Every structure is written in structure tokens, then in C-alpha cells.
Amino acid sequence: MTRTPRWLLVVGLTAVLAVITAALCYELPKSSSFSTASPLNDLHSGHHGGLGEADGAVPDGVTVFDDSVPGVAKLDPGLLKALRQAATAAAHDKVTFYVNSGWRSAAYQNQLLREAIAKYGSEAEAERWVATAATSPHVSGDAVDLGRSDATAWLSGHSAEYGLCQIYRNEPWHYELRPEATVRGCPHMYADPTHDPRMQQ
């Protein structure tokens, strides 16, 4: 019989208390192609602590055109417009933009955080995939996680034309609106969210 080390319990409890009220950017890739990129891959299915679509959970098969899903409808209008323009162009190449996650309520993010800490065993590791309340671009509706792999592959070559940019190198599915990208191209990517100055608050 194995026992959980006492230090691990202390670390875990400290992490939970430190961020219990935080809302987070938390990636939920549904594409199986990302199963090795994110150990959180299995968290997308089902409801989280009773929280559902009204809090930002996105069912399978939802696209950027599905206004009936709050996780899509509550995205920033400028981001949504750019996504739909890009998706319309991508459709000509038989590529569909699926939304794995978009806008999220703070309650939903907090639930996801609790699951993340439990899964990673440390706040430090979870922070590579997570942002805090004040900074989470998903809570403000300014970020979207897209699938499937053909969509992210299409975007990697075309997104700047629509003002859409990948922000983190470790999250090829996470896109935000950067209008200046249509002229200048996308800004340099951060290795992961811990390198993003917006997350240092």
C-alpha cells in the first residue's frame, strides 16, 4: 500500500487555497492528435461539477457558426467575425473549424482548475496550461480553442490574414484576435502561458 507523501499534501492544499477563486485559461483539446500534447485531453467530455453549456462547456461537433452555444455566442464580436471569415475561406479547402472551448464562466474555470491541480499534482505544472482570474482571455471571451488538427494546420498558414494568432507555442489550438497581424504578421509566440506578461498579475 502506498501513501501520499506529507509534503505533497501540503503543496496541493496550498495550491488549491491560492487559486481557488481564480478563473483560468485552461485548454481542452478534443482532437486525438493533441492527446500527447496535453494531458488534459480527457477532461473535455461530460459536465464538470454540474456546470454545463450555460457556463461555457462546448458539446462535440460545435463550429464557429453555432450561435446557440454560449461558449461561442459570448466570444468577443471582433474575434468571432474574424473566425467566421477564416472558416468560410477554409471551407473551400474542405476544412471545418470546430470549437473545443471559447468563452467560459469563472465558475467553470474554477472547476477546471480543481481538476487540473488534481491531475498534475502541483500548481506549478498546472500553470503551464492555466491563467488566473484577471488575465484569463477565455473568461473575457477573447480566446478560442479550435480543432481539429486539419483546422489548426490550415490556420498555421493563413491565420494572420484574418488577424488571428496563435499565442502560445505549446497550445497550437489557442487563438486570439490580433488585428495588426493582417499587416505585420503575428507577434512572437510565448513558449507557454507562464512566459506571457499578461499572466504576471
State phi, psi for 55 to the nearest 5 degrees.
Answer: -100, 0
Q: Which of 44, 104, 174, 178 is the binder for Zn ion (CB under 5 A)? A: 174
Instruction: Give min distance, CB of 133 to Zn ion, in A.
Output: 15
Taking the least distance from each CB to Zn ion, the nearer of 93 and 165 is 165
Taking the least distance from each CB to Zn ion, the nearer of 11 and 192 is 192
Cis peptide bond N-terminal to 148, omega within 30: yes
Q: Would you give the binding string for Zn ion spanning residues 133-162, x where CB under 5 A is met?
A: ----------x-x-----------------
Part of the chain binding Zn ion (CB under 5 A), chosen from 49-57, 60-68, 82-90, 173-181? 173-181
Taking the least distance from each CB to Zn ion, the nearer of 75 and 143 is 143
CA 65-156-199 angle, to 5 degrees, is: 85
Q: What is the Cα–Cα distance from 153 to 178, expressed in whole angstroms?
A: 19
Q: What is the Cα–Cα distance from 171 to 160, expressed in whole angstroms?
A: 16
Taking the least distance from each CB to Zn ion, the nearer of 12 and 119 is 119
Report the run of H or E that residue 166 belongs to, with start and end. Answer: strand 164-166
Residues in the chain, overall count? 201
| Residue 76 touches Zn ion, criterion: CB under 5 A | no
Instruction: Give min distance, CB of 145 to Zn ion, in A.
Output: 4
- Read off the DSSP letter of residue 187: P
Taking the least distance from each CB to Zn ion, the nearer of 55 and 145 is 145
Radius of gyration of the chain (CA): 17
- Read off the DSSP letter of residue 77: H
Instruction: Give min distance, CB of 47 to Zn ion, in A.
Output: 19
Q: Which residues bind Zn ion (CB under 5 A)?
A: 143, 145, 174
